[in-house]
């Protein structure tokens, strides 16, 4: 079994019901804060809770003893909420049980400020922020003064990681909501309403935090698996700058290239030769390409979300259509499929030689088009990208019912290559068009299994004349689908809410339609605004 950071004691639990409670209440520490933070080992265990807060919903198997109350009937982790908000309203995913699971409004781009998935995702993000704030409040220099010199250095590194994770959570808030309350470790715990930060203020905060901790984060490749290092901070900065024009109105493409170059120049990353192995149960071995993952394990970090959702949700719940064991699973959920418009990125799926075209068509018998509605489970191709299989093709060891051991790559080198190409095309400096084309063709060489030592093996490669922004958005789709970037990408390209790009049932009609641009951001939950009068939803 892979070594996990997340085998930590369950020391933090928190029940939140409103903005006042959510953001100004300390997490309840069952052994007492002093008992947790009075040793370097205790600090590391508490750090583990910050990491795992992205991928589990509670202290028990499958989300039992939930960290938070939920708007729905079940408690789902942050990643399941985030996957739905980033994917279910796009061309990449159509959710089978949209009515019963309250995902119809997200699917149709017609949500309001009371949507349960929007609400749950918001509170999950701020729960993680609250955990990070509590960690930083309890690991000050005064607290660790009694530790050994080595332990003090360790805890300072933990603090930098906590600030990175808080910045990542704030990035999710920025990208999804475009605004939000601001709290840090210095925010009062009582009788205080958090200030509302707009998009530019959150952007500036994230930028300042990441540049401030850059020198304190461990060098790339030197941290233990599952923990963030300096390259993770660079990757988050690059993604922040790639989308700066959306967030602040000012493009920062040269800055994006600067931080992509830092990742390239550290010379420890390379493309994994086999694309599919980046998304199987042995993907913890792909540290050559995966810059930072969320760790998921079938024994210690099981929920009904994260990669369990990505793996089991994509497999039909009809065993006569798909055998779940072929994907390392005990059952298929049939939760979501891929829309016909998205599958067209590969042309004829059944004859495509692009290895990333991992769509199940049942020998061409599945209709990719959703003419009978989004909940017709007989239509729409099924994705085979995520599995719970090892490199040997076996179900991951210690797999429990519906649990998987496949990690989620938050940042990987392929995305860095794509960010470089797009930033060059948008006018950024630091790399040339020739550089950008070279990076793109490295991805194409892998996709088409070309021999890197044979210059005549060029299937799938593109020329400079083919390299434009239309190509980039399509290639990002082919390379990064179901990795929680599609909504963000479509917004950056002006295609998410507009009529420039339509897919079936966009806007709730069969042939798709443009919708109000307010749906480029999600609203702050109505019950949050009722408590914190500093917040508002001017467009809802």
Q: What is the per-residue pLDDT across 329-369, written as a single tens digit (0 to 9) for each?
A: 999 999 999 999 999 999 999 999 999 999 999 999 999 99
Least confident of 88-92, 198-202, 453-457: 453-457
Contact assessment for residue 300 and residue 6, using Cβ atoms and an 8 Å cutoff: yes
Q: What is the pLDDT of residue 16?
A: 32
- If you compute the radius of gyration of the chain from its CA atoms, what whole number of angstroms results? 22
pLDDT in tens, 146-198: 999 999 999 999 999 999 999 999 999 999 999 999 999 999 888 889 999 99
pLDDT in tens, 8-35: 323 333 333 333 333 333 333 444 566 7
The structure tokens listed for 525 are 């939950």
Contact assessment for residue 94 and residue 339, using Cβ atoms and an 8 Å cutoff: yes
Rounded Cα distance, 361 and 254, in Å: 42
Residue 116: strand, helix, or coil: helix
- Averaged pLDDT, 462-486: 98
- Averaged pLDDT, 400-427: 94
Q: Which CATH number fits domain 1-228+499-540: 1.10.1500.10, 1.10.3720.10, 3.30.365.10, 1.25.40.390?
A: 1.25.40.390
The domain segmentation of the chain, as residue ranges, is 1-228+499-540
- Start-end of H helices in 93-148: 104-108, 116-137, 141-144
What one-character-per-residue DSSP string does 265-299 give? HT------S-GGGGGSTTGGG-TTTEEEEE---TT
336-337/94-95 β-pairing: antiparallel
DSSP 8-state secondary structure symbol assigned to residue 204: H
Q: Is 462 exposed, middle or buried (0-12, 13-18, 19+ CB in 10 A)?
A: middle
Q: Identify the band that residue 117 occupies on the pLDDT scale cut at 50, 70 and 90.
A: very high
What one-character-per-residue DSSP string does 417-485 give? HHHHHHHHHTT--SS-HHHHHHHHHHHHHHHTT--TT-TT--TT---GGG-SHHHHHHHHHHHHTTSS-
pTM above 0.85? yes
Rounded Cα distance, 178 and 197, in Å: 9
């Amino acid at each position: 079994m892979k070594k996990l950071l997340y085998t930590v004691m369950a020391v933090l639990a928190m029940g939140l019901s409103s903005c006042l409670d959510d953001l100004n209440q300390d997490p309840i520490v069952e052994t007492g804060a002093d008992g947790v933070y009075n040793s370097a080992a205790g600090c590391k265990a508490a750090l583990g809770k910050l990491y795992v807060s992205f991928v589990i919903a509670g202290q028990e198997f499958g989300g039992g003893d939930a960290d938070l109350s939920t708007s729905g009937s079940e408690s789902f982790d942050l990643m399941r909420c985030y996957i739905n908000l980033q994917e279910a309203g796009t061309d990449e995913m159509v959710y089978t049980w949209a009515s019963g699971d309250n995902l119809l409004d997200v699917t149709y781009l017609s949500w309001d400020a009371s949507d349960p998935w929007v609400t749950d995702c918001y509170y999950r993000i701020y729960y993680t922020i609250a955990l990070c704030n509590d960690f930083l409040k309890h690991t000050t220099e005064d607290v660790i003064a009694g530790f050994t010199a080595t332990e003090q250095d360790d805890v300072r590194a933990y603090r930098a990681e906590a600030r990175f994770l808080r910045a990542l959570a704030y990035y999710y808030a920025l990208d999804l909501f475009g605004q939000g309350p601001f709290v840090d470790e210095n925010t009062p715990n009582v009788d205080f309403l958090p200030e509302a930060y707009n998009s530019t203020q959150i952007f500036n905060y994230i930028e300042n935090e990441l540049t401030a901790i850059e020198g304190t984060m461990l060098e790339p490749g030197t941290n233990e698996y599952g923990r963030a290092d300096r390259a993770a901070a660079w990757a988050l900065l690059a993604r922040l700058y790639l989308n700066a024009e959306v967030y602040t109105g000012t493009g920062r493409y040269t800055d994006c290239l600067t931080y992509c170059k830092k990742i390239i120049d550290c010379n420890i990353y390379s493309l994994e030769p086999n694309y599919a192995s980046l998304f199987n149960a042995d993907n913890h071995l792909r540290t050559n390409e995966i810059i930072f993952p969320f760790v998921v394990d079938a024994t210690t970090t099981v929920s009904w979300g994260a990669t369990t959702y990505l793996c089991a949700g994509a497999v039909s719940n009809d065993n006569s259509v798909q055998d779940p064991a072929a994907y390392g699973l005990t059952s298929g959920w049939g939760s979501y499929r891929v829309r016909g418009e998205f599958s067209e990125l590969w042309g004829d799926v059944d004859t495509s030689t692009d290895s990333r075209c991992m769509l199940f068509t049942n020998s061409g018998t599945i209709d990719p088009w959703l003419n009978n509605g989004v909940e017709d489970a007989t239509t729409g191709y099924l994705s085979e990208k995520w599995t719970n299989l090892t490199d040997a093709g076996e179900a991951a060891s210690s797999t429990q019912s519906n649990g998987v051991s496949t990690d989620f790559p938050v940042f990987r080198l392929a995305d860095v290559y794509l960010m470089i190409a797009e930033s060059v095309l948008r006018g950024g400096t630091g790399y040339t068009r020739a550089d950008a084309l070279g990076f793109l063709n490295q991805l194409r060489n892998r996709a088409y299994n070309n021999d890197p030592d044979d210059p005549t093996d060029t299937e799938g490669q593109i020329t400079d004349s083919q390299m434009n922004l239309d190509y980039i958005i399509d290639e990002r789709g082919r390379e990064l689908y179901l990795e929680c970037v599609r909504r963000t990408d479509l917004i950056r390209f002006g295609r998410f809410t507009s009529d420039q790009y339509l897919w079936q049932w966009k806007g709730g009609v069969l042939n798709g339609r443009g919708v109000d641009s307010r749906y480029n951001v999600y609203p702050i939950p109505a019950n949050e605004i009722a408590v914190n009068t500093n917040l508002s939803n001017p467009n809802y």
